[in-house]
Amino acid sequence: MTWTLIVLSWVWGGLLSQTPPIPTPTTESTSEIVMETHDTPPFETLTQADLSVITGNVQRPNGMVWFNNKLYVVCTGDWTIYEIDSVTGSTKTYIYGVRNGHMLVAEADENDQVTLWVPDFDTEKLLNVQTTRAAQTTSDGYANPWGIAVLDAESFLVTNLGDDSLVRATRSGEVFPVAEGFRSPTGVAVDNERVYIANSGSARRSIEWLDRAAIEAGESVTPEPLVDGLQSTSGMVLAPDGYLYFSYGLGTRGVVGRVDPNQCAEAGGCDNDQVEVVLYTDLSAPLSGLTVSDDMRLFIHTMFRPEIYWVQLPIVDAVDSE
């Protein structure tokens, strides 16, 4: 199935709009603590009524990432990345020249300036983006790249929806194959032990994992099951609470769920009944933008609609890292 058909099958009419209150972020820092998830009681599923809107000047948002209290959002309508204040919603143009980015990595360089890494689905290139210069191509030859995650100080992992593969891309422009045989892979996330891949084209293989140490050693890796039974899994992020959050479809509606990835991996995989539904929306699937802030604000949007929504998630009890 081509990506065009996937998009056409996901995108349906009408969204709800709301008057946006100004979000009030919490102040608890998660940088020096380890979040405990195993004994956390489930919370009541959030719905559309719990969402608030951040009004940004982005008409067709796609990829989105939170970094240092800003949202960096790719607009497929005008090939521009916008910087949005995640509290006030004030918006400014970051840079022009990215056509269609589904995921971004944001980081600070040696001069404390924000730099973005964006796989461009349309041009099939990995772009390095800063406001001080035009978007730079670091490597090309991808096959409709979608997801990106930091592997180590020198490289990223990038999913290719076009040829069902995962590759390792260095900052200097080299690209190495990691694994093949996925089913329209989209989101990717990395923790200390595993790499997680969302398969948008297979409910049976909704989310899989790979051994991180084996990838770093250049060894052959085989996907292992993490979650099955989800429709059109796309966005994915590891949040500060230790859970793996992901967006998927339930009928035509966009949903955000989560699992403890350690528990699912050790159990040989979880099915959809074991997924904790975090947010059930009235928005059309896919929820192509999904990101979580350090203070556990969840931000989402649906494909090709301007509204960016947010909701405060519970912050679980923390334990000292010592």
Q: In this structure, what CATH number is given to the domain that contains residue 52?
A: 2.120.10.30
Sign of the dihedral defined by the CA atoms of residues 129, 67, 284, 261, in that order:
positive
What is the pLDDT, as a whole number, of residue 41?
Answer: 53
Residue 28 has pLDDT above 90, yes or no: no
What is the pLDDT, as a whole number, of residue 136?
Answer: 85
Mean pLDDT: which of 30-39, 88-97, 108-117, 155-164 is highest? Answer: 155-164
Give the pLDDT band of residue 305 (cuts 50, 70, 90). confident
What is the pLDDT, as a whole number, of residue 211?
Answer: 98
Omega of the bond leading into 261 within 30 degrees of 0 (cis): no
Residue 92 has pLDDT above 80, yes or no: yes
Give the pLDDT band of residue 109 (cuts 50, 70, 90). confident
Are the beta carbons of 197 and 208 closer than 8 angstroms? yes
Which residue is listed with tokens 């067709």?
60
What is the pLDDT, as a whole number, of residue 167?
Answer: 98
What is the pLDDT, as a whole number, of residue 40?
Answer: 52
What is the pLDDT, as a whole number, of residue 134?
Answer: 75
Average pLDDT over residues 77-93: 94
Q: Give the chain's mean pLDDT.
A: 86
Q: Which amino acid is at 51?
A: L
Full-model pTM: 0.85
For 20, the token pair is: 């946006």
What is the pLDDT, as a whole number, of residue 42?
Answer: 61
The domain of 30 spans 3-320
**Is pLDDT larger for residue 30 or for residue 287?**
287
Domain count, the chain: 1
Are the beta carbons of 32 and 321 closer than 8 angstroms? yes
Residue 215 has pLDDT above 50, yes or no: yes
Specify the DSSP class assigned to residue 183: S
Q: Which amino acid is at 178?
A: V
